[in-house]
Amino acid sequence: MTLLPPRDTSEQNGAPREAPDDAALGAALLRKSRESIATQQAFFEEHGASVVQCARALAAAFEGGARLYVFGNGGSACDAEHLAVELTYPVVEKRKPLPATVLGTQRALLTAVGNDEDFALAYVRELEVAARPGDIAVGLSTSGKSRNVVRTLKAARELGLLTVGFAGRDGGAMVGLCDHLFIVRSFSIHRIQETHGVLLHLLWDLIHVARGEEDVL
């Protein structure tokens, strides 16, 4: 067995970078938290009215018997699961559970489609079998360019679903594919995902309020 050489921890073959002290780490913490707050504030100032419109559209769809399908990759897949559990098992007892499913959780199906066809079609094949016209598709991609998310949103439109997108940067290929598209105008994946997390919480809350449920939060 060939052993790999130890990892070079030097900076451009120079001396190792000195670890920051507590004061420097604390300053970085405050700087990044301020960046996160500023990103979220700018986003909601731009998209506030659109979030309200989307919440009303989703509330009406659920009232008509719609089911929601949500999907993403990596951290966005975690956010997809977060949105689904908020809807199906509300942390607030007075809130009514709403049907939501995360695409891509069936490992055998995911790998079968990826192996036989194309990974970008894995969510599409699952959606084609389960979804009905009038259902809801929510796709998350920090770049707006994730091939499987884009392909699934295209398929959702063809199937007659209400489409919602969470994106970052300039929206990428998701622009034009969503009835409601929310773009966090940042190139930082962390700032984008932090804003997506707040958005999914507020969207969940407003859906229930728009349905006439008590505003308890």
Q: pLDDT tens digits for 163-196?
A: 999 999 999 999 999 999 999 999 999 999 999 9
- CB-CB contact of 172 with 141 (8 Å): yes
pLDDT in tens, 66-79: 999 999 999 999 99
Q: What residues form DSSP beta bridges with 106?
A: none
Give the confidence band of 4 by pLDDT, cuts at 50, 70, 90: very low
Give the CB-side neighbour count of residue 137, counting CA atoms within 13 A: 31
pTM for this prediction: 0.89
Domain 32-210, architecture per CATH: 3-Layer(aba) Sandwich (3.40)
d(CA 188, CA 168): 9
